[in-house]
């Protein structure tokens, strides 16, 4: 899959202060992203979308300088109970 560069400074403007959001808190590079199925339907597409998102991020806050460690990025998903019981 081809990576698409992401340039947040040219494509995204910080929203104005409203509710609990305050743009003065936008001073760190760390963050958490969420991809969800709003309709609640289970689909492998969610995992594919998360993989695509991760692949498109040129820099995710750290780098693996060897072949044995990662950069800390990951995907958290639920495991169906029946699958868990069967595999464990």
The set of catalytic residues is 30
Q: Are 73 and 52 in contact (CB under 8 A)?
A: no
For residue 4, what are its two tokens? Answer: 């698409």
End-to-end, the C-alpha distance of the chain in Å comes to 32
67-75: list long-range contacts, CB under 8 Å, 24+ apart: 75/47, 75/50, 75/51
For residue 59, what are its two tokens? Answer: 């820099």
């Amino acid at each position: 899959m081809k990576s698409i560069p992401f340039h947040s400074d040219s494509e995204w403007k910080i929203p104005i202060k409203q509710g609990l959001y305050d743009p003065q808190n936008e001073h760190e590079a760390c963050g958490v992203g969420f991809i969800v199925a709003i309709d609640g339907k289970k689909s492998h597409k969610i995992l594919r979308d998360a993989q695509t998102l991760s692949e498109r991020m040129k820099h995710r806050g750290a780098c693996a300088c060897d072949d044995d460690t990662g950069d800390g990025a990951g995907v958290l998903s639920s495991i169906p109970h029946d699958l868990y019981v069967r595999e464990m």
